[in-house]
Amino acid sequence: MALLEVDGLRTHFATDGGEFRAVDGVSFAVDAGKTLGIVGESGCGKSVTSLSVMGLLPARIARVAGGSIRFKGTDLLTLDEDAKRDLRGNRLAMIFQEPMTSLNPAFTIGDQIMEGLIRHKKLNREQARQAAIAMLRQVRIPAPEQRVDDYPHQLSGGMRQRAMIAMALACGPELLIADEPTTALDVTVQAQILDLLRDLQRDTGAAILLISHDLGVIAEMADHVAVMYAGRVVEQASVDALFDAPQHPYTIGLLGSIPRLDQDQERLAVIEGSVPDPARPPPGCRFEPRCPFADEQCRAAQPDLRDVLPGHAVACWKAPL
């Protein structure tokens, strides 16, 4: 059994213009000790998928409309708020894309890291403070004995990001969701943080869901990769298969099939056209308006994700290409 199994997840947002499907039938699984990378253009539903797993969707406007999210066999969607709070920050943790969404401006970063250690690990205040300082040192925050008493606004953006990573890792989570964990950090610190995540995984056997726009980071860290487009997974395979022989026209576009010396090859390539309006998706394949291979069949019906090669699933009528 996988540590995390997401099956047919649908997350809807209510807006003035009606309800739209930000996540529309997403399925994936991550084993203990493994990393699943999630890639896809801005707005394809990566963060909403993560927040759905964490049970942290904005309450009044978003709801999970279908599917299941099983953590060690238990469907998180069936748990009450108390049970979810017991899991969060303890066995499930998330590094958020926006550090300020998870750091409370009214408390010192030390207090915020200590909170989980006191609540979940039953440490006393002094033990928790020492553990928080050690965690800040691990994420390479200089002078952690002083910084532990800083408020979030006293830290630079990069330091806040590191403080949040310290908070997420403090209790040694079994599942870590890292949503663009290193985007705000310079290359050296980024490498240190990725090493730290790998150490955590080696020491604790944690599963990691890693969201990144940086294909270099995904190639280095992930065992498997899921490619999302317009609220759906369109391709999923081992990292080697995905990079060596991508099968979905969107993935091929993302990886930039033609190497260009004037482009930074580690970033996702830019594909012509734009993502469909989630409130009015095209009737057939959602990639059809941008796809060079599109035909009548693509306009008529939406392809489901299916194994086109062993362990390599693709949602495209034409796959394998």
Ligand X SMILES: Nc1ncnc2c1ncn2[C@@H]1O[C@H](COP(=O)(O)OP(=O)(O)OP(=O)(O)O)[C@@H](O)[C@H]1O
Binding residues for ligand SF4, per CB under 6 A? 248-249, 285, 287-288, 291, 293-294, 298, 303, 316-318
Shortest reach from residue 222's CB to ligand SF4, in Å: 22
The residues, ordered by sequence, that sit 6+ positions from 252 with a Cβ below 8 Å of its Cβ are 246, 321
Question: Taking a C-beta distance cutoff of 8 angstroms, is the pair 171, 121 a contact?
Answer: yes
Number of amino acids touching ligand X (CB under 6 A):
14
Of 42-50, 232-240, 260-268, 285-293, which segment contacts Mg ion by CB under 5 A? Answer: 42-50
Of 45-53, 167-175, 252-260, 309-317, which segment contacts ligand X by CB under 6 A? Answer: 45-53
| Tokens representing residue 116 in the block | 């989980």
Of 38-46, 195-203, 237-245, 282-290, which segment contacts ligand X by CB under 6 A? Answer: 38-46
What is d(CA 110, CA 107) in angstroms, rounded to the nearest whole number?
8
What is d(CA 116, CA 90) in angstroms, rounded to the nearest whole number?
7
Residue selected from 11, 35, 47, 108 as contacting Mg ion according to rule CB under 5 A:
47
Site string for ligand X, 264-293 (x = CB under 6 A): --------------x---------------
Binding status of residue 13 toward ligand X by CB under 6 A = yes
Of 42-50, 139-147, 246-254, 296-304, which segment contacts ligand X by CB under 6 A? Answer: 42-50
Question: Taking a C-beta distance cutoff of 8 angstroms, is the pair 320, 311 a contact?
Answer: no
Q: Is the peptide bond preceding residue 303 cis, with omega within 30 degrees of 0?
A: no
Q: Which amino acid does the sequence have at 172?
A: G
Binding status of residue 108 toward Mg ion by CB under 5 A = no
Query: Out of Mg ion, ligand SF4, ligand X, none, which partner does residue 303 contact, by CB within 5 to 8 A per kind?
Result: ligand SF4
Residue selected from 12, 46, 70, 160 as contacting ligand X according to rule CB under 6 A:
46
| Tokens representing residue 172 in the block | 């040694």
Q: Positive or negative CA dihedral for 275, 278, 279, 281?
A: positive
What is d(CA 159, CA 147) in angstroms, rounded to the nearest whole number?
10
Question: Taking a C-beta distance cutoff of 8 angstroms, is the pair 150, 143 a contact?
Answer: no
Shortest reach from residue 316's CB to ligand SF4, in Å: 3
Query: Out of ligand SF4, ligand X, Mg ion, none, which partner does residue 13 contact, by CB within 5 to 8 A per kind?
Result: ligand X
The residues, ordered by sequence, that sit 6+ positions from 295 with a Cβ below 8 Å of its Cβ are none
Of 5-13, 96-104, 281-289, 299-307, which segment contacts Mg ion by CB under 5 A? Answer: 96-104
Of 238, 239, 236, nearest in space to 248 by CA:
236
SS3 state at 154: helix
Which residue number, 43 or 282, has a Cβ lying nearer to ligand X? 43
* Chain residues that interact with ligand X, rule: CB under 6 A: 13, 22, 40, 42-48, 58, 61, 97, 278
